[in-house]
Structure 1
Amino acid sequence: MAIDESKYTVVQNILFNTLSLLTLLLLAPYINSFTPPLVANGWHIDLLLAVVASFIVVYVLRWIFRPLIIPIFLLVCSVMVVNKLSDRYTFYNVLNDYKGMVQGNLNTKGSKQLDILSLYPRRVESYRDKTVRGMREKINFQDSVVRNFSVKHSLDYYDEYFYKYGKITRFLSLFRFINSQFKYVLDSRRDEYFATAQETIQNGLGGDCDDHSILMTSCLQSIGARCRIVLVKGHAYPELYCGDKEEFEIMKQAIITLFPKPAVKEIYYHELKGEYWINLDYTARRPGGPYMNDKVYALIEL
């Protein structure tokens, strides 16, 4: 049954077309928030497919009865307003998702870190032995204080994206809380002290780079993440395991979407034998921020 254009005035048709377009633009990201990430040859196509699905929905509604688009548009807007009150998917997320799609497909680059550890392993040095052993002994992701702290703050942010990114939202929420609250405090001048995650939580999230790395890896592992600590000249930082190339692309898109300001231009990572790891240093404002230096001399695998 073809749509009878003649029974509507020019003004009515303009109104219906405008509302149809707005409904499509609002509906597509909302549908996309419930679909898993889809990557094809490095391109993120999930939102594009959601736009196509929304177009079909809007077209069918218009085909059945064109004025039906008015209550549908009002319904979509009402859902967004209610979500705003309950701190879920809102108009801001719609804009952010479109921006993230453009950045993820066109602007943001992956910046693989080439360091000496990737090129050739060095002979173990005594200082390295001492540092690795000291830090490894302080990592305890089974501690109840650490676990409860981690679960609590993994729920602070990004819950509206859980259906789309799953556990990644929990990892990035926890990262955001720790990095926004952590304060740098020097060790004593004489000794290198490694604090457990429980100690750092109890002291109000203060410590040096070693303490931050132990805290971040312990907390993330307590909620199911895989982490490691990288030791470089004069510094230590944690890394989060992303998985293979496709899983890394999904992580990258999640970071672009969940950390929109400032715009993500590059994601810094290590890759070896198809395994991708991103930087979680306290010096970076977001996951995958720049590395301080490439003088890597040890990895603490956990």
Structure 2
Amino acid sequence: MIQLNKTNFHLVKSKFQLKKPWDSFVIFLLSILITIPLFIVLHQNLIDPHWYFNLDRILLFILVLVTVHLALYSLRTIIIICLALYFLALIYGSLFGNFSFNSVFDDYNSMLYTMNNNPFPQDIIIAKLLPFPNKDEILKAIEYENPKVRNFAIMATTKHFKKIRGYSDYRNLIQCFAVFKEINSRWNYVNDPKNGDYIATAHESLLYFSGDCDDHSILMAAAIRSIGGTPRLIHTKGHIYPEILIGNRSDLEKVNYLIKNVLFSQESHHKQLNYHIDERNQVWLNLDYTAKYPGGPFLSEEILGALTLE
């Protein structure tokens, strides 16, 4: 009886065992396929020491690949089952979960792009460094609940980037970038009255898309806030400009790829993203009226204060 069971076991084992040299090829291919998503998860959750040429990430990838390869080699007699389970997991993720074949491709593509096209970070900003000038008037002027402001923002989302597909996790951010594109493409800079500081409300600026930097910032913040984005205003010496919260450093990779390859490829060609990191390690992109794309160059970098709308 025992001998019969052993015979049956070896028969089943032989059916699932690949012949040489195909077993080595399949093990190596499967090692690459498994290493990529594991490496992405580790890359997004481990602190980046910023080694030259991203040597830390290269070594990490090699370490994960070797570990996975050795594990699969030890299971080479049931390699077909391992291969089937891997693809079943991705198929299940594609149909019912959040991690699919497209997710693996997009995350890996974004990661590689960012590693070769690094955004340009600025120093951490501590909110409310100094009292924000005209804070009460500005907050009152940011009329994000005004129907005219929200209708304008909705119009912008239907005009720009509506056909972009495959980035559901960043849908709201893409819509906020549509608002940025609409406002900045139409904005006409006009000075305040001499020896005065005129603060226009958001719906007032919608009439002619004209005004100075604080008027632009108020309109941008109101429109973005009206559709669920999180803006803030930055006060520098003689200047105010808006920024938008995009998330953490791992979100920055995807946003960097989106801006440079999908949404603003011409405007940001061979250019870097400019952003700030706050005390909670959240990333904020520049949306100044001089910027042609989200994260464009700063007009002024001397930070005096920050006003966040949440």
Residue of structure 1 aligned with 2:255, choices 251, 255, 273: 251
Aligned length: 203
- Give CA deviations for 1:227-255 in whole Å, capped at 9, x if unaligned: 10000011110000011112222222211
For 2:121, the aligned partner's letter is K
- The CA deviation at 1:215 is 0.3
Residue of structure 2 aligned with 1:223, choices 224, 227, 231: 227
Q: Is 1:131 aligned with 2:134?
A: yes
Structure 1 alignment gaps of length 5 or more = 1-37, 44-96
- Give CA deviations for 1:34-79 in whole Å, capped at 9, x if unaligned: xxxx965269xxxxxxxxxxxxxxxxxxxxxxxxxxxxxxxxxxxx
Structure 2 alignment gaps of length 5 or more = 1-38, 45-53, 55-105
Tell me the equivalent position of 1:155.
158
Give runs of aligned pairs for residues 1-302 of structure 1, distance below 5 A.
Answer: 40=41, 41=43, 104-105=113-114, 107-114=116-123, 117-118=125-126, 122=129, 124=130, 128-164=131-167, 165-202=170-207, 204-257=208-261, 258-262=263-267, 263-272=269-278, 273-302=280-309
Equivalents in 2 of 1:255, 1:247: separation in Å? Answer: 12
- The CA deviation at 1:169 is 2.1
SS in 1 for 2:192: coil
- The CA deviation at 1:200 is 0.3
Relative to 1, partners in 2 of residues 1:195 and 1:260: Cα closer, same or farther, differing over 3 Å?
A: same
Equivalents in 2 of 1:231, 1:129: separation in Å? Answer: 7
For 1:271, the aligned partner's letter is I
SS in 1 for 2:204: helix
Equivalents in 2 of 1:244, 1:277: separation in Å? Answer: 9
SS in 2 for 1:212: helix
Relative to 1, partners in 2 of residues 1:264 and 1:196: Cα closer, same or farther, differing over 3 Å?
A: farther
CA contact (8 A) 2:132 2:306 kept: no
For 1:155, the aligned partner's letter is T
TM-score, structure 1 normalization: 0.61
CA contact (8 A) 2:128 2:307 kept: no
Equivalents in 1 of 2:121, 2:224: separation in Å? Answer: 23
SS in 1 for 2:135: helix
- Give CA deviations for 1:172-211 in whole Å, capped at 9, x if unaligned: 1111111000100100012101111100002x10000000
Percent identical: 30
TM-score, structure 2 normalization: 0.60
CA contact (8 A) 2:121 2:274 kept: yes
Equivalents in 1 of 2:119, 2:146: separation in Å? Answer: 35
Equivalents in 1 of 2:132, 2:232: separation in Å? Answer: 16
Relative to 1, partners in 2 of residues 1:288 and 1:103: Cα closer, same or farther, differing over 3 Å?
A: farther
Equivalents in 1 of 2:118, 2:274: separation in Å? Answer: 9
- The CA deviation at 1:130 is 4.1
CA contact (8 A) 2:110 2:256 kept: no
Tell me the equivalent position of 1:6.
none
SS in 2 for 1:146: helix
- The CA deviation at 1:137 is 1.9
- The CA deviation at 1:132 is 2.1
Equivalents in 2 of 1:130, 1:287: separation in Å? Answer: 25
Relative to 1, partners in 2 of residues 1:223 and 1:39: Cα closer, same or farther, differing over 3 Å?
A: farther
